[in-house]
Amino acid sequence: MALDCFLPGKMILIDASGWSDLLLGVVIGALKPPAPMLLERRIATTSFQPPNFKSKKYLDDSVKIADEIVSVMQPDSETCFNVCSEFVLSKIVNHLQKQGFKVKKVQFTGELKQMVDDAYVRWCVEKGVPRELLQDKRRFWSFLDWVAQSPHLRESLVKTGWASWDRKWREEIFRKHLGLESQFKENK
């Protein structure tokens, strides 16, 4: 690895948020230090739903975003891309290397991680998810309960391509929903 990979003007950081969350898709962000401007793009929820999830459409979407990052940030041949090791970004590494760029997989991107996490939270709030559900980093159960309150409306926001969704969680939210409805009728 060349020494210039550690010089701020010769680095572009790429990270993602939302990969392990039940709701929506994924936000990918890129930062070219020392500039504080974030390039932020979303991989749609539909890429994580059948039939797209099985074909891993989200990986192709991430490559399109990487091409946009290159177009906007104009890296030169000495620029090193530090790409977070999340699976949703895995295809970006080879794609950038094939274009002749230096690429390093990293575990942590520093302030960029918080920026993309904030962007994912903003997206959730835009879609009607209560902000208080987004405070905890482990929010799977909160999201599941929220979807169960109105599954016919909210299931479209879920990453339904996961095998566990059809095998377990979908039935669970509808069972909870029916329980909530019967509880409501009893209280009338």
pLDDT digits (tens, 9 = 90+) for 9-34: 588 999 999 998 999 999 999 998 87
pLDDT on residue 88: 94
Please indicate, yes or no, whether residues 115 and 147 belong to a single structural domain of this protein.
no
Report yes or no on 128 lying in a domain. Answer: no
| Domain membership flag for residue 98 | yes
**Higher per-residue confidence, 1 vs 72:** 72
Per-residue pLDDT at 187:
44
Domain that holds residue 178: 137-187
Question: Is residue 185 scored above 50 in pLDDT?
Answer: no
Closest CA to 15 of 79, 52, 69: 69
* Same domain for 61 and 149: no
Same domain, yes or no: 107 and 149: no
Give the domain CATH number at 27. Answer: 3.30.420.10
50 within a domain of the structure (yes/no): yes
Does residue 143 sit in the same domain as residue 115?
A: no
Task: Say yes or no: 107 and 168 in one domain.
Answer: no
Q: Are 12 and 81 in contact (CB under 8 A)?
A: yes
129 domain-assigned: no
Q: Is 80 exceeded by the pLDDT of residue 97?
A: yes
Assigned domain for 172 exists: yes
Number of folded domains that form the chain: 2
DSSP string, 29-55: EEE-TT--PEEEEEE-GGGGSTTTTTT
What does the angle CA 82 – CA 84 – CA 89 come to, to the nearest 5 degrees? 110
In a domain, 130, yes or no: no
Same domain, 105 and 154: no
Q: What is the pLDDT of residue 173?
A: 87
At 5, is the secondary structure helix, strand, or coil? Answer: helix
The confidence score (pLDDT) of residue 138 equals 81
Q: Are residues 70 and 12 in the same domain?
A: yes
Rounded Cα distance, 89 and 41, in Å: 13
Mean residue pLDDT across the chain:
87
pLDDT at 126 over 90: yes
Q: Tens digit of pLDDT for each residue in 139-163?
A: 899 999 999 999 999 999 999 998 8
The answer to whether residue 28 sits within a structural domain is yes
- Residues 67 and 108 occupy one common structural domain: yes
pLDDT in tens, 34-81: 777 789 999 999 999 999 999 999 999 999 999 999 999 999 888 899
Is beta strand 80-84 parallel, antiparallel or unpaired with respect to 38-43?
Answer: unpaired
Q: pTM (2 decimals)?
A: 0.86
**CA separation for the pair 104, 1 (Å, rounded):** 9
Q: Residues 94, 145: one domain?
A: no
Phi, psi of 159 (to 5 degrees): -75, 80
How far apart CA 56 and CA 44 sit, in angstroms, is: 12
pLDDT of amino acid 36? 74
Residue 149 lies in a domain: yes
Spatial separation of the C-alpha atoms in residues 98 and 176, rounded to whole Å: 49
